[in-house]
């Protein structure tokens, strides 16, 4: 939940006046982050204790187990720790000037930036050949070697109670457990030149313009550890080397045109136009633009509006990720497992059950057997760039004779061809939860075994590579208010910021449009209300953060009839939550000290029923970014200025 993390940062900047109008400047940033995760896991094997239907002989360590059974002993181990260390460095050197070609109304800036991020990721692993080589064994392996490492084989008593509870003998630990280290290097070199100033005068004021060019080179080189590259990690992802580079060139400009000033209709009216042309080697080129209007009717009322487009080519990792495979259990991704029984107990909705039946899946599918293979990879040559349109319309009110300011903005954002991965459970669950199952594109991203294959009807492969999501649309209202009141004994400042989401719809692959507004992770209303009181060298703060309730009742289906009754079997909603934070600060000349409490009343994340496909949970708690996972905590900050 909260891994051990240490960060070290060194930052320096400086400047030198070359002439009265030209300045040389530079920056240097060095950062190191170290994260250690202490974890545990289960691992398992399969064996027969008697002659099976396929003629295999009993495991030599299965003596004492009667009948004819397939056994799957499942030990536990703490050999599952991992760590990540990232060294990041960034250097900037530039020149800037206050005049251009003798024009005092123009300024310019040239900047060269170089950055490098080198990360090492270490993992404790279980050797695949230590486990798979002993599946359904019928004799001792002593004297043989493992299939991948070529290491001397050790007979493991998988039914030993001590082994099952985590007390692994030394010879078994050396045979089955290992570790590896991978490395990722990301480098970037960029140059940018910008100039801005006044072009000419209009009756309402000067026309201002900015122009610039940008050039950037990016490269990535990710080399997994030796065990991952050799496909010798048990029940974990395997991957190859991811490497690639890209070059981006861009030219951009912006112009600000004052249309009216001190007129009958406006104190000021200003039009802003901007555009950008971007060319990326790995993809191609694209143009974006933005139009803005700022209209101050008087010193009390001001309107503002913008409309613009954006353009993002897929990142290097999204393009060049080498195909990697992982494994997930059938029950963790397939809502059709035991769909009749799960429908009767409201674990799945009627819609999911109907679609499972339409797919010919038996109503008592157990889900036991081989795990599903999950394949992920980059989309070079397939992925399109993300594009978006955004519109914002707002009003700003600043009443006279009171220190108060209120702004209200309405926004619409639509992203097309968003680059994303949906996750295996999201792909399969989205297929069978679709209202248009017969034409649902998600169903084309995985395959099942046929009724005559081994493991009939089990999911064989899920293709969870980076894809372009058709479209995503968000609309909402942002509100910000500030008020300051001066008392004889101090000053009180009140700040309110709130966001109300009206719409959050996603059309994944051109099929059914889903609206997630108000569901888990997507509360309709969030906001902050802060009070700051200052008296001489003292500052007191009280802040409140509000997260609105959410409900998955409607999306789930037939659980809707249970909501609000006294016989609710599944909790598919979260209550609203308010977090309180307080602090007290004192200034002593160049020193200041602040002490406080975050999450003052130790508010816990809301509890929900952990139903697959509906909630991300840890234990009984909804696991989303809006909620506080640290609980009540105390802090002290001491600052010295020079």
Label each residue of 70-100 as H, E or C: EECCCCEECCCCEEEEEEEEEEEEEEEECCE
- Cα 381 from chain centroid? 24
Residue 153 pLDDT class (50, 70, 90 cuts):
very high
Contact indicator for 310, 324 with CB cutoff of 8 Å: no
User: pLDDT by residue (tens digit) across 437-459?
Assistant: 888 888 989 999 988 877 789 99
The torsion angles phi and psi of 361, rounded to 5 degrees, stand at: -85, 130
Task: Output the 3-class SS for 442-457.
Answer: HHHHEEECCCCCCCCC
Give dist(CA 441, CA 386) in Å, integer: 20
Residues ≥6 apart with Cβ < 8 Å to 585: 538, 539, 540, 541, 592, 593, 594
User: pLDDT by residue (tens digit) across 78-130?
Assistant: 999 999 999 999 999 999 999 988 888 999 999 999 999 999 999 999 999 99
DSSP 8-state symbol, 605: P
Residue 512 pLDDT class (50, 70, 90 cuts):
low
Of 418, 417, 398, 422, residue with least CA distance to 408: 398
Q: 564 pLDDT exceeds 50?
A: no
- Cα 168 from chain centroid? 37
Q: Is 129 exposed, middle or buried, given 0-12, 13-18 or 19+ CB atoms closer than 10 A?
A: buried
For helices 350-358 and 424-432, the axis angle rounded to 10 degrees is 90
User: pLDDT by residue (tens digit) across 457-466?
Assistant: 999 999 988 8
Of 254, 194, 184, 249, residue with least CA distance to 219: 184
What is the pLDDT averaged over residues 287-293? 96
Give dist(CA 190, CA 54) in Å, integer: 63
Give dist(CA 455, CA 4) in Å, integer: 42
Of 310, 324, 447, 313, residue with least CA distance to 377: 324
Give dist(CA 443, CA 456) in Å, integer: 18
3-class DSSP state for residue 577? strand
DSSP 8-state symbol, 512: P
What is the pLDDT averaged over residues 292-307? 96
Of 415, 421, 413, 426, residue with least CA distance to 385: 415
User: pLDDT by residue (tens digit) across 387-421?
Assistant: 999 999 999 999 998 999 999 999 999 999 888 88
Dihedral of CA 385/504/508/612: which sign? positive
Return the C-alpha torsion angle 446, 449, 455, 458, nearest 10. 30
Contact indicator for 133, 125 with CB cutoff of 8 Å: no
Write down the pLDDT at residue 509: 76
Write down the pLDDT at residue 559: 43
Mean pLDDT of the chain: 90
DSSP 8-state symbol, 607: B
Contact indicator for 182, 121 with CB cutoff of 8 Å: yes
Taking residue 392's Cβ as centre, other Cβ atoms within 10 Å add up to 16
The torsion angles phi and psi of 239, rounded to 5 degrees, stand at: -155, 160
Give dist(CA 93, CA 108) in Å, integer: 14
Task: Tell me which H or E stretch contains 428.
Answer: helix 424-432
Q: 56 pLDDT exceeds 80?
A: no
User: pLDDT by residue (tens digit) across 213-254?
Assistant: 999 999 999 999 999 999 899 988 778 899 999 999 999 999
Q: Is 21 left (phi over 0), alpha (psi -120 to 50) or beta?
A: alpha
Q: Is 537 left (phi over 0), alpha (psi -120 to 50) or beta?
A: alpha
Number of helices and strands in the chain (H, E): 10, 32
Q: What is the widest separation between alpha-carbon atoms in the chain?
A: 100
Dihedral of CA 333/336/342/348: which sign? positive
Contact indicator for 218, 203 with CB cutoff of 8 Å: no
Write down the pLDDT at residue 115: 98
Taking residue 591's Cβ as centre, other Cβ atoms within 10 Å add up to 11
The torsion angles phi and psi of 198, rounded to 5 degrees, stand at: -90, 140
This prediction has a pTM of: 0.81
Write down the pLDDT at residue 510: 67
3-class DSSP state for residue 621? strand
DSSP 8-state symbol, 152: B
Domains in the chain: boundaries: 1-240
Give dist(CA 173, CA 180) in Å, integer: 15
């Amino acid at each position: 939940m909260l891994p051990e993390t240490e960060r070290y940062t060194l930052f320096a900047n400086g400047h030198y006046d070359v002439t009265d109008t030209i300045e040389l400047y530079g920056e240097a940033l060095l950062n190191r982050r170290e994260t250690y995760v202490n974890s545990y896991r289960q691992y398992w094997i399969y064996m027969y204790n008697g002659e099976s239907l396929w003629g295999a002989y009993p495991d030599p360590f299965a003596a004492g187990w009667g009948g004819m059974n397939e056994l799957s002993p499942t030990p536990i181990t703490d050999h599952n720790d991992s760590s990540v260390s990232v060294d990041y460095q960034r250097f900037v050197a530039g020149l800037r000037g206050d005049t251009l070609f003798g024009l005092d109304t123009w300024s310019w800036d040239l900047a060269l930036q170089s950055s490098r991020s080198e990360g090492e990721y270490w993992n404790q692993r279980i050797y695949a050949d230590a486990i798979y080589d002993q599946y359904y064994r019928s004799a001792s392996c002593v004297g043989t070697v493992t299939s991948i490492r070529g290491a001397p084989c050790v007979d493991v008593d998988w039914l030993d109670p001590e082994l099952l509870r985590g007390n692994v003998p030394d010879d078994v630990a050396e045979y089955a457990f290992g570790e590896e280290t991978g490395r990722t290097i990301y480098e970037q070199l960029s140059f940018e030149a910008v100039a801005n100033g006044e072009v000419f005068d209009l009756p309402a004021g000067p026309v201002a313009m900015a122009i610039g060019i940008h050039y950037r080179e990016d490269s990535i080189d990710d080399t997994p550890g030796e065990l991952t590259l050799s496909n010798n990690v048990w029940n974990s992802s395997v991957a190859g080397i991811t490497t690639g580079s890209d070059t981006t060139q861009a030219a951009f400009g912006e112009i600000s045109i004052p249309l009216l000033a001190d007129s009958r209709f406006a104190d000021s009216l200003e039009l802003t136009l901007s555009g950008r042309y971007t060319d990326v080697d790995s993809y191609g080129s694209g143009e974006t633009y933005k139009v803005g209007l700022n209209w101050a009717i008087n010193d009390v009322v001001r309107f503002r509006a913008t409309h613009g487009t954006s353009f993002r080519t897929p990142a290097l990792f999204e393009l060049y990720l080498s195909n990697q495979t992982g494994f997930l259990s059938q029950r963790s991704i397939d809502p059709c497992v035991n769909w009749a029984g799960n429908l009767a107990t409201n674990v799945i909705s009627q819609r999911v059950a109907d679609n499972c039946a339409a797919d010919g899946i038996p109503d008592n599918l157990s889900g036991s057997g081989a795990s599903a293979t999950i394949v992920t990879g980059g989309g070079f040559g397939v992925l399109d760039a993300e594009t978006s349109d955004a519109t914002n319309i707002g009003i700003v009110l600043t009443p006279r004779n009171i220190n108060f300011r209120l702004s209200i903005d309405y926004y619409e954002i639509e992203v097309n061809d968003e680059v994303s991965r949906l996750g295996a459970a999201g792909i399969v669950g989205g297929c069978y939860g679709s209202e248009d199952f017969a034409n649902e594109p998600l169903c084309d991203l995985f395959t099942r075994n046929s009724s005559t294959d081994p493991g009939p009807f089990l999911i064989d492969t899920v293709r969870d590579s980076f894809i372009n999501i058709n479209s995503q649309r968000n609309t909402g209202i942002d509100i910000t208010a500030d008020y300051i009141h001066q008392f004889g004994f101090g000053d009180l400042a009140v700040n309110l910021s709130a966001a109300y989401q009206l719409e959050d719809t996603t059309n994944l692959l051109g099929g059914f449009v889903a609206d997630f507004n108000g569901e888990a992770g997507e509360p309709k209303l969030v906001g902050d209300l802060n009070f700051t009181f200052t008296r001489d060298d003292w500052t007191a703060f009280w802040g409140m953060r509000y997260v609105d309730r959410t409900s998955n009742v409607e999306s789930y289906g037939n659980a809707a009839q249970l909501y609000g009754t006294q016989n609710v079997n599944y909790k598919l909603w979260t209550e609203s939550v308010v977090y309180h934070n307080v602090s007290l600060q004192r200034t002593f000349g160049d020193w200041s000290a602040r002490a406080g409490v975050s999450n003052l009343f130790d508010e816990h994340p809301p509890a929900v029923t952990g139903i697959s496909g509906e909630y991300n949970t840890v234990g009984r708690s909804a696991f989303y970014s809006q909620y506080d996972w640290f609980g009540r905590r105390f802090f002290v900050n001491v600052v010295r200025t020079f």
